[in-house]
Amino acid sequence: MEISKNSIWEFKDFDVLDDGLYRVLDIIHGVESVILFPLHNPARTVRPVAVSLTLFIEQIENKSAIKASFEMPNYLLLVEEDIPEQYIKRRDKNYNLVKDLVVDRSFLFDFATKKRVLQLSEYARKVGVDRKSLARLLTLYWRYGQDEMALMPAFLQSGAIGKERTPTNKPLGAPKKIRTLAIKRATKFIVSDIDKNIFKTAIKKYYLRESVLSLANTYKKMLADSYSEEIRFAGACNRPPLVPTMKQFRYWSKKIFTQEEVIKRRTTENYHLRNQRALLGSVR
């Protein structure tokens, strides 16, 4: 079977390498070596490794090395026309920082076989970039196919700032880890659109009135108005109630009403209340 550059191989039970996926970076016939990059290692900086070409072929014949595939991130599969200009500029800037290194086969072989490679430090000083930053760019370049697109910044994977995510039955964000395994963490409450409407009603009813309550007391009033049944049921079952937390309420109150809106609504509400009182007083 042909061993081609950028082909993906899975190794199992090979004494020289850890089990996992590897990308072929280069075949250097002058020293009968294959330079491989470990794809199963998620570290930010990973070094390639060199193995004997003869030994590689033996592993293929022994079925210890089989042809495989590697799934690329979605943001690297975009066509050029669909990529925002600022991402293209960053990609090109990243590539320009390493382009002289990645075409140097002797550097690749040294980096795969030696613990210290002075050429990387010297090159870093030449281009005015930290050596570790260069190593991270090289890792991305080798991991994702050895072309310019491999150095596309992963901005497209980040959350959409200013856009509200649709709630599901799974909590958003990374789950919290608890140190004491004997203690079971309470179920996390997931805020739905119905809950947001309850928050909005409570804020209007208690927080924006003339006899204004604090946000903490508004939260308590809201629980009594809308979640009392769950609180009573949880008490009967001897478990924590599944209700919004104060932190969630505070967060969504800021999302629902900006500070300017709060001031404006309070002023308007107080004006109407004073007029109503004045009218009631004149009738009496």
Render pLDDT for 82-116 as a digit per residue (tens, 0 to 9). Answer: 888 888 999 999 999 999 999 999 999 999 999 89
Query: How many helices and strands, by DSSP H and E, does the chain display?
Result: 10, 5
- Res 180: pLDDT: 44
Do 56 and 2 touch, CB atoms closer than 8 A?
no
pLDDT at 27: 96
- Domain ranges, ordered by start, for the chain: 8-68, 74-157, 193-283
Least confident of 13-22, 91-100, 177-186: 177-186
Average pLDDT along the chain = 82
Angle between helices 215-226 and 246-256 (to 10 degrees): 100
pLDDT (0 to 100) of residue 272: 53
**Angle formed by the axes of helices 228-236 and 215-226, nearest 10°:** 70
Determine the longest span between alpha carbons in the chain, in angstroms.
106
Q: How many CB atoms lie within 10 A of CB 134?
A: 19
pLDDT at residue 210 is higher than 60: no
User: Residue 233 pLDDT > 70, yes or no?
Assistant: yes
Is pLDDT at 25 greater than 80 in this prediction? Answer: yes
φ, ψ dihedrals at 230, nearest 5°: -65, -40
CA distance 221 to 270: 20
Residue 25: helix, strand or coil by DSSP? Answer: strand
Tens-digit pLDDT profile for residues 36-90: 999 998 888 999 999 999 999 999 999 999 999 998 888 888 888 888 888 899 9
pLDDT band at 235 (very low <50, low <70, confident <90, very high): confident
Range scoring the smallest mean pLDDT among 30-39, 73-82, 250-259 = 250-259
Name which of 11-15, 178-182, 264-268 the model is least confident about.
178-182
Provide the strand spans (E) within the chain: 8-11, 20-28, 33-38, 49-52, 65-68
- Contact status, residue 150 vs residue 102, Cβ threshold 8 Å: no
From residue 11, how far is each of 63, 143, 179 by CA, in Å?
A: 9, 16, 36
pLDDT digits (tens, 9 = 90+) for 107-164: 999 999 998 999 999 999 999 999 999 999 999 999 999 999 999 987 655 544 445 5
User: Which residue has better confidence, 183 or 30?
Assistant: 30
Give residues with Cβ within 8 angstroms of 104, minimum separation 6. Answer: none
pLDDT tier at 208, thresholds 50, 70, 90: confident
Query: For residue 249, is pLDDT > 80?
Result: yes
Least reliable range by pLDDT among 72-86, 163-177, 236-250: 163-177
